Structure formats: C-alpha cells, structure tokens
A = this chain, B = another copy of it.
Amino acid sequence: MNAISSERVLSIQSHVVYGYVGGKAAVFPLQCLGYDVDVVNTVHFSNHAGYGRSGGTKATAAELNDVFEGMERNELMAPTRLLTGITPPCYVPSAEGLSAVAALARRLKRERPELIYLLDPVMGDAGRLYVAADVIPIYREMLPLATIIAPNWFEVETLTQVKLEDLPSLRKAFSILHDTYHVPNVIITSIPLTPWLYNALPPAIQPSSDSEYLLCIASSRVLPSSLPVVYAQCVPLLPGYFSGVGDLFSALLLAHFHSPSSPATIPNLISTSTSTSTVPHPQTPLAHAAAYALATTHHILRLTHAHAITLPAKERAPTDDEADAAEPLRKTRRMRGRELRLVQGQAAIRGEGVEVRPMGVWENFWDV
C-alpha cells in the first residue's frame, strides 16, 4: 500500500445514485487499493440505463469546464493517473462534453508526460453503437494521449474500421492502434471465443473444457523498435448480463498497472499448470495488471451471480423482451438483483483469497 499511497487518480465517469456502473463501479475499488480519487461526475442519474427508465441530469461542457478550472485555479489538478470512461447508452455526453474531457486530457499529458492515462473508449457493444457518430472521431483524436486503452471487440472494429474475423484482421487492428494511433498498451477486454479465434490460439492458452469462454488479449509495445508483446487469457462466461463489469475491470487494470519505467517493482506471478512457457516469461506491466484485474473481476461476478440466484423468483425472471415490455418492473427487479457485489467483495478487491492466474504469452502472434 505504501508504494502507491501518494498516487491520485482523476476519474471522469458517469454517476448513478443506486447501483454500480461508471464511477460507482470504479472509485471504491481504486480507494480500496490505496489511491486517492478525484471524482468528476459527467451525469447524476438515479440508476443505470439497463433499468429502462431513470431520472437525473447530465453535466454540460461548460459545467465540466467550470469544475476543471476551479481545480486548476487552486492547484488541485495534480493526478498521477487519469481514468475516463463514460457508460452506457444515454449517459454519454454530447460530443461537446467529450471534447471538454479530451481538451483536459491533452493539457494534463502536456504538463505531466509521465501521467498514466487509461482511456475506455465507450461507444457500443455486441455490434450496436450507442453513441452519436460524431463521438467516434473525438475518441480517435484522444487515442495518442492514452497509456492504455481498453475497448471491447466492437469498439476495436469501430475505431480501426477493421472487421475482426481472422488472425490477420486481428493483427491489423492491433497494428493500427499501436502504429497509427501510438497507443503503447492495448487490451481487448472480451472477444467471444469463436472457432477461428480458438484455433489461432497457442495450445497453452486454449481452454480445456467445453464451456463458453471470452478471450482477453493484452498487447504492449515494450520497445519502439520491436514487435508488440501479446498475452492472452480465456475467461469462462457467466450466465446472464451484469452491468458495470467493464468499468470495474478498467479501474482494477489501472490500479494494478505499474509504470514500465520501474519494471523492477513488478513481482513475477507464480506459475501455475496453465502457464504457457516452461521458462518463466517476464510479464509486461499490462499483462501483470490484466491478470489481477481478470481474477478480481471474475471473483466479484461469481459473488454477484451467487447472490442473484438466492433471490425470490420474481427478482430473477429471465430476459424476455415481450414480458419485460408488458411489465416494466419485471426488468427492473432483474437488474436490481444483478448489481455488482462490490462492497461485499471488498476483501477480494484488496487481494484476499483471490487466486491470480498469469496471462499466457502468445509467442507467434505476429508470425505470418
């Protein structure tokens, strides 16, 4: 804890009164892991958009700038890390609001080049865009400011305009993000493990069981002159949909990311039977952080799932668009029972009782 006790994260995210998405999913874990967090709320809503209805307000670009200027006037704009991610559908501010955040990120990065900036380019999921199209070019302009970006597969496709359908297209997307947009660390948080992707994986990373899996891929350009180093891990898919998972994952990723300038501080993870190489492979800072973030996020999801299945039947009616439309509270009750169990899982967030499995190195990723 001491090593990071002087670190401050500036978090710019949505706020919901009830439940855990955006800032509510990110701030508490960062605090548990020893960071002071400066919390800017881009919206103030009763609950997340998944409930279908909500009440509250969005901050305008002028209101956000007024807060930023208040901090700057008082010499309080002094983060060592920056986290921006704005989730989900109706929470995204107008392009104007995102531009205000982009301008701040640019200023901060110029004044303190050592700033570690995790940009979560929230734009959509599963083939559906949930922001206005004018937001996409702003995110593209922000990419070169980021130390780490954490898009899902659909956001990678949107940013790079490359459809991920085989290993060459995956290579091309990573190349664009590293080379054209100069992002040193790119993590694709979750891609369904379809047959082409399964077959492309080194055997040591392929899962052994027949369950459904998601793949997490972490690519880092460690040296400017050499190819990026790629790590990956398969994560079993839990049934049903949970909100705020990406926001929690990004916060944990940032918290566990140790600056590449001090690689000596990165403890090597203990190898397990799933380790990919017989000779211990030095972890990249990104692969190290991702292993911790994946393990903790999965632990919280299992807690949440275990809680949800103990609820009365009416609190966990299965997804059914027709039935939900006829009785709006049906959906609401399901959502409520699936809010992340962050407070109940805080010991796990601090690392107690969580088994961290190292990411596997994807040795021949770039071999054509």
A residues apposed to B, CB below 8 Å: 1, 5, 15, 17-19, 24, 28, 31-32, 34-41, 44-47, 51, 53-57, 59, 63, 66-71, 73-76, 329, 332-333, 336, 342-344, 346
Q: Are B53 and A332 in contact (CB under 8 A)?
A: no
Of the candidates B15, B66, B76, the one whose C-beta lies within 8 Å of that of A47 is B76
Judging by beta carbons under 8 Å apart, are B67 and A56 in contact?
yes
Pick from B19, B39, B63: contact of A17, CB below 8 A: B39
Cβ distance A318 to chain B, nearest Cβ, rounded Å: 19
23 intermolecular pairs with C-beta atoms under 8 Å apart:
A5-B344, A15-B41, A17-B38, A17-B76, A18-B74, A31-B346, A32-B346, A41-B44, A44-B44, A44-B59, A44-B67, A45-B67, A46-B69, A46-B71, A46-B74, A47-B71, A53-B74, A55-B66, A55-B68, A55-B69, A57-B63, A57-B66, A74-B332
* Cα(A76)–Cα(B46), bound, Å: 9
The reply to whether A56 and B66 contact each other, CB–CB distance below 8 Å, is yes
Is there contact, CB below 8 Å, between B5 and A18?
A: no
- Please name all residues of chain B whose beta carbon is closer than 8 Å to the beta carbon of A46 when the two chains form the complex: 67-71, 74, 76
Give the copy number.
Answer: 2
In the complex, which residues of chain B have a beta carbon less than 8 angstroms from the beta carbon of A71? 17-18, 46-47, 55
- A344 to chain B: closest CB distance in Å? 6
Q: For the complex formed, measure the closest distance between the CB of A272 and the CB atoms of chain B, giving whole angstroms.
A: 30
Dominant secondary structure of chain A at its interface with chain B = mixed
Chain B neighbourhood of A19, CB < 8 A: 76
Query: Nearest CB to that of A1 among chain B residues?
Result: B344
- Check if B18 sits within 8 Å of A76, measured CB to CB: yes
Cα distance, A55 to B32, chains bound together (Å): 28
A53 with B34: in contact, given A17-B40, A41-B41 (CB under 8 Å)? Answer: no
Report A91 CB to chain B, min CB distance, Å. 13
Contact B55 A329 (CB under 8 A): no
CA distance A27 to B139 in the complex (A): 32
CA distance A336 to B78 in the complex (A): 11
Question: What is the minimal beta-carbon distance from A327 to any residue of chain B, in angstroms?
Answer: 12
Residue numbers in B under 8 Å from A39 (CB-CB): 15, 17, 24
Q: In the complex, what residues of B have CB within 8 A of residue A32's CB?
A: 346
Closest Cβ–Cβ distance, residue A71 to chain B (whole Å)? 5
Taking the nearest CB of chain B, how far is it from the CB of A223, in angstroms?
35
Top 5 A-B residue pairs of the complex, sorted by shortest distance between their CB atoms: A55-B70, A46-B70, A55-B66, A18-B76, A46-B71
Max chain B Cβ within 10 angstroms of own Cβ: one of A19, A343, A344 = A343
Q: List the B side residues contacting A76 at CB < 8 Å.
A: 17-19, 46-47, 51, 332, 336
| Bound-state Cα–Cα, A221 to B93, Å | 50
| A336: B residues at CB distance < 8 A | 74-76
**A74 neighbours in B (Cβ, 8 Å):** 18, 46-47, 51, 53-54, 329, 332, 336
